[in-house]
């Protein structure tokens, strides 16, 4: 990327756009942008942060575009958006967010790409922190705020701009953009149904691994194990809690109320250590083992990586306690696909007492259609007789969309399996319904993705109790 370039980010407040804009700005380029949420007066603190980075913000009406800029927009941004129309009139280059990120990533000497259906953001944050503590000064691109790097001056630290030659990024299979990356180290944690069919995912992830120099692979996931078989042994570094033949072997997971411990052994060096992850849930022990494996593949000694991992504080919106009022706790969580929802409910059952009141805002009608049966199974399997599930309508940001499967359909399916579920179309009304249902001892879980205002909603639910 030439430092003299000027970029305009359409939708700059998005979870994938904001950290990329911060990285590009830190690289010396001029950056400006627009966002519907800015026009609507939502999440003002986020936009104040961007202004503090020297990024100019404009209404999303095309007025911010200038000759010579490059328009950065996701593939979902439609041609009718005024910024896109203005860019066309001015003859500006348009580039997808993922394409720009891939250019920066591929230019790094050591690119570590984190792929998989679940746990990408957490594992990316863990790797970034370990490499940071090891003195490698990595650049880290994440889809969530990393608490270790968040400060009063940088409250939205979903990116870390480093001076080293290592670039750590989660990569997305949902839009196929994973195909753009050429990682030196490719980590694959798991493969399960989310946005695409399993056949499509196998091809995408298989090609992703084939392009890497070293593939870091979770042998406990059956799909990942199958893909590992297509790679030469010399290009694999494997990890597992179940397979004694793995290069990095974890064992003896112990949950201790807010932190998780396990033993880890490096078959290549003979090193053995006790690892601690200061996060809830067995799934975070598995995420921790994945991060340790990637760090080892990057040359960090196991003992040093284990020590750094213990200091990882986690990410925002990953089973994050919002607060408690009148004996009722509110928790904010990113759970949005079947695996993530199942892991969240498993953690809730293990560490929380009391009835669960679950609120879920789907992140689109397409995912509801693709994952209908799996979503229903995740909710019904994680709920008990007294729990209540409330679904509002999916997040909608304009444009055309097929509403083949709705939130009401999911609710009906869950109820047919004997669980208590309600469809409350409007989110504000769902908040009032949660307050009406809640009683001392209950735990309210707010779940959903790709909508930054969900955290504000969780706070409003707490205030309404």
Q: Any idea what the CATH number is for the domain that residue 353 is in?
A: 3.90.190.20
Asked if 284 and 260 count as a contact pair (C-beta separation under 8 A), the reply is yes
The CATH number of the domain holding residue 45 is: 3.40.50.720
Backbone angles phi, psi at 394, to 5 degrees: -60, 155
Does 421 share its domain with 341? Answer: yes
Does 336 share its domain with 418? Answer: yes
Does 137 share its domain with 281? Answer: yes
Average pLDDT over residues 116-137: 95
Residues 6+ apart with CB under 8 A from 91: none
Does 139 share its domain with 255? Answer: yes
Structure-token match 């598995």, residue found = 286
Q: Does 424 score more than 90 pLDDT?
A: yes
The C-alpha atoms of residue 172 and residue 8 are separated, in whole angstroms, by: 22
Average pLDDT over residues 42-60: 92
Structure-token match 């001392």, residue found = 440
Supply the mean pLDDT for the chain.
Answer: 91
pLDDT at 156: 87
Burial class (CB in 10 A: 0-12, 13-18, 19+), 177: buried
pLDDT at 4: 58
Asked if 276 and 259 count as a contact pair (C-beta separation under 8 A), the reply is yes
Average pLDDT over residues 108-126: 94
Q: Does 3 score more than 60 pLDDT?
A: no
Looking at the structure of the chain, the number of domains it has is: 3
Structure-token match 């990942």, residue found = 224
Residues 6+ apart with CB under 8 A from 315: 121, 122, 125, 142, 144, 145, 146, 147
Query: Over the chain, what HEC string results?
Result: CCCCCEEEEECCCCCCHHHHHHHHHHCCCEEEEECHHHHCCCCHHHHHHHHHCCCEEECCCCCCCCCCEEEEECCCCCCCCHHHHHHHHHCCEEEEHHHHHHHHHHHCCEEEEEECCCCHHHHHHHHHHHHHHCCCCCEEECCCCEHHHCECCECCCCEECCCCCEEEEECCCCCCHHHHCCCCEEEECCCCCCCCCHHHHHHHHHHHHHCCCEEEEECCCHHHHHHHCCCCHHHEEEEECCCCCCCEEEEEEEECCCCEEEEEEECCCCCEEEEEECCCCHHHHHHHHHHHHHHHHCCCCHHHHHHHHCCCCCECCCCEEEEEECCEEEEEECCCCHHHHHHHHHHHHHHCCCCEEEEEECCCHHHHHHHHHHHHHHHHHHCCCCCEEEECCCCCCCCCCCCCCCHHHHHHHHHHCCCEEEECCCHHHHHHHHHHHCCCCCEEEEEECCCCHHHHHHHHHHHCC
Looking at the chain, the whole-number percentage of residues with pLDDT higher than 70 is 97
Please give the residue that has the higher pLDDT: either 172 or 463: 463
Choosing from 69, 96, 123, the residue where a domain stops is 96
Does 277 share its domain with 337? Answer: no
Closest listed residue to residue 155, CA positions, set 147, 164, 166: 147
For the segment 62-116, what is each residue's pLDDT rounded down to a tens digit?
Answer: 999 999 999 999 877 788 899 999 999 999 999 999 999 999 999 999 999 999 9
The C-alpha atoms of residue 36 and residue 240 are separated, in whole angstroms, by: 44
Backbone CA torsion sign across 253, 254, 255, 261: negative
**Would 101 be classed as within a structural domain?**
no
Please give the residue that has the higher pLDDT: either 119 or 287: 287
Under the banding of pLDDT at 50, 70 and 90, the label for residue 445 is very high
The CATH number of the domain holding residue 224 is: 3.40.1190.10
Does 82 share its domain with 213? Answer: no
**Cα–Cα distance list, 446 to 343, 344, 387, 435 (Å):** 14, 11, 14, 13
**Would 436 be classed as within a structural domain?**
yes
Does 339 share its domain with 443? Answer: yes
pLDDT at 194: 61
Tell how strand 159-160 and strand 139-141 pair up: antiparallel
Does 352 share its domain with 442? Answer: yes
User: Two tokens at 399?
Assistant: 């444009």
Q: Does 121 score more than 70 pLDDT?
A: yes
**Would 385 be classed as within a structural domain?**
yes
Does 154 share its domain with 301? Answer: yes
**Would 314 be classed as within a structural domain?**
no
**Would 315 be classed as within a structural domain?**
no
**Would 103 be classed as within a structural domain?**
no
**Would 253 be classed as within a structural domain?**
yes
pLDDT at 1: 41
Taken as a whole, the chain contains a residue count of 465
Q: Which residues pair with 277 in a beta bridge?
A: 260
Asked if 419 and 383 count as a contact pair (C-beta separation under 8 A), the reply is yes
Structure-token match 């669980």, residue found = 419
User: Two tokens at 121?
Assistant: 């953001």
pLDDT at 399: 57
Choosing from 275, 309, 343, the residue where a domain stops is 309
Average pLDDT over residues 191-220: 89
For the segment 155-205, what is each residue's pLDDT rounded down to a tens digit?
Answer: 889 999 999 999 999 998 877 789 999 999 999 999 886 666 788 889 999
Does 245 share its domain with 209? Answer: yes
**Would 102 be classed as within a structural domain?**
no
Choosing from 289, 309, 329, the residue where a domain stops is 309
Structure-token match 């001056």, residue found = 153
pLDDT at 257: 65
**Domain of 218?**
108-309
Does 424 share its domain with 385? Answer: yes
The C-alpha atoms of residue 53 and residue 22 are separated, in whole angstroms, by: 7
pLDDT at 107: 95
**Cα–Cα distance list, 104 to 111, 141, 210, 280 (Å):** 10, 11, 20, 34
pTM summary value: 0.83
Does 87 share its domain with 129? Answer: no
Asked if 220 and 391 count as a contact pair (C-beta separation under 8 A), the reply is no
């Amino acid at each position: 990327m030439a430092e003299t370039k000027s970029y305009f980010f359409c939708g700059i407040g998005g979870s994938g756009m904001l950290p990329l804009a911060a990285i590009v700005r830190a690289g010396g380029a001029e950056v400006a942008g627009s966002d519907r949420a800015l026009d609507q007066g939502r999440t003002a603190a986020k936009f104040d942060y961007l202004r503090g980075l020297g990024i100019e913000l404009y209404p999303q009406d095309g007025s911010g575009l200038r000759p010579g800029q490059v328009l950065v927009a996701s593939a979902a941004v439609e041609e009718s958006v005024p910024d896109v129309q203005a860019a066309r009139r001015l003859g500006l280059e348009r580039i997808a967010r993922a394409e720009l990120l891939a250019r920066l990533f591929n230019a790094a000497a050591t690119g570590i790409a984190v792929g998989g259906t679940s746990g990408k953001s957490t594992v990316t944050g863990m790797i970034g922190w370990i490499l940071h503590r090891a003195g490698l000064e990595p650049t880290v691109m994440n889809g969530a705020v990393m608490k270790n790097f968040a400060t009063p001056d940088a409250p939205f630290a979903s990116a870390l701009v480093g001076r080293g030659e290592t670039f750590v990024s989660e990569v997305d299979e949902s839009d196929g953009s994973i195909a753009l990356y050429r990682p030196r180290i490719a980590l694959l944690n798991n493969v399960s149904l989310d946005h695409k069919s399993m056949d499509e995912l196998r091809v995408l992830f298989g090609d992703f691994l084939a392009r890497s120099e070293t593939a870091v692979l979770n042998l406990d996931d059956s799909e990942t194990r199958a893909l590992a078989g297509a790679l030469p042994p010399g290009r694999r570094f494997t990890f597992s809690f179940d397979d004694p033949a793995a290069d990095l072997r974890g064992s003896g997971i112990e949950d201790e109320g807010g932190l998780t411990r396990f033993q880890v052994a490096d078959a290549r060096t003979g090193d053995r250590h006790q690892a601690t992850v200061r996060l809830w849930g067995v799934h975070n022990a598995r995420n921790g083992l994945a991060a340790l494996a990637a760090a080892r593949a990057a040359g960090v000694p196991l003992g040093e990586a284990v020590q750094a991992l213990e200091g990882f504080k986690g990410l925002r919106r990953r089973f994050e306690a919002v607060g408690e009022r009148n004996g009722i706790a509110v928790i904010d969580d990113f759970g949005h696909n079947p695996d993530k929802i199942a892991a969240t409910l498993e953690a809730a059952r293990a560490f929380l007492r009391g009835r669960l009141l679950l609120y879920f805002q789907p992140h689109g009608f397409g995912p509801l259609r693709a994952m209908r049966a799996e979503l229903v199974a995740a909710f019904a399997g994680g709920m008990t007789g007294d729990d209540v599930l409330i679904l509002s309508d999916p997040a909608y940001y304009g444009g055309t969309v097929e509403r083949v499967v709705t939130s009401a359909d999911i609710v009906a399916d869950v109820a047919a399996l004997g669980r208590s579920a309600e469809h409350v179309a409007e989110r504000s009304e769902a908040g009032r319904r949660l307050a009406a249902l809640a009683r001392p001892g209950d735990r309210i879980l707010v779940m959903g993705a790709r909508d930054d205002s969900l955290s504000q909603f969780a706070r409003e639910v707490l205030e309404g109790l």
